[in-house]
Amino acid sequence: MLSWKPLLILFLLFPSQTPDIHYVPTSSGVADAMLRLAGVTSTDTVYDLGSGDGRIVIAAARKYGARGVGIEIDPKLIAAARKNAESAGVADRVTFRQEDLFKADFSEATVVTLYLSETINRRIRGILQRQLKPGSRIVSHRFTMGDWEPQAQERHEGTTIYLWTIPPR
């Protein structure tokens, strides 16, 4: 008979991470609009928090020549994103990291894209403001950052996209 104590110890040492929200893909049209609103160029490094199947950083690499990093907690979505990047011919320009977005380092990003929730955006706002360099842009599909007023917003496919820029320090 298997004792419960070793299982409890394993659970405590290696707790499983579960997402704070469920994956809902951003449409290709909205992803393109987000990248346009952020003014992405080939000199940018685009981070997508909760990157899912990788479509936003893949589009940034394919359409704009940017580098991309996807941060995702679900290993199955990471595997799918890597396969999608290979199929799109941009695997040399994008990487996908299985990480908790509240513990990740975004300091290399010049653009951060989000499709999370109002609550998570408010929780991550301070982390982004501390880690990102002045001039870095943040684009959110559908959700704001609490009382931080966006510098621009636009409607696309029935949803709103918001843009903020990290101010000089």
**Mean pLDDT (the chain, rounded):** 90
3-state secondary structure of 98: strand
Q: Is residue 138 included in any domain, yes or no?
A: yes
Q: What is the pLDDT of residue 100?
A: 94
- Give the range of the structural domain holding residue 110, as residue numbers without chain letter: 20-165
Asked if the model's pLDDT at residue 8 lies above 90, the reply is no
Q: What is the pLDDT of residue 23?
A: 78
pLDDT band at 21 (very low <50, low <70, confident <90, very high): low
* Rounded-to-integer distance, Cα 52 and Cα 65, Å: 20
Q: Is residue 6 included in any domain, yes or no?
A: no
Q: How many CB atoms lie within 10 A of CB 112?
A: 25
The model's pLDDT over 95-126, given as tens digits with 9 standing for 90+, comes to 999 999 999 999 999 999 999 999 999 999 99
Q: Is residue 9 included in any domain, yes or no?
A: no
Asked if the model's pLDDT at residue 69 lies above 50, the reply is yes
Q: Is residue 5 included in any domain, yes or no?
A: no
CA angle 132, 63, 44 (to 5 degrees): 20
- The CATH code of the domain that includes 114 is 3.40.50.150
Q: What is the pLDDT of residue 24?
A: 85
Count of domains forming the chain: 1
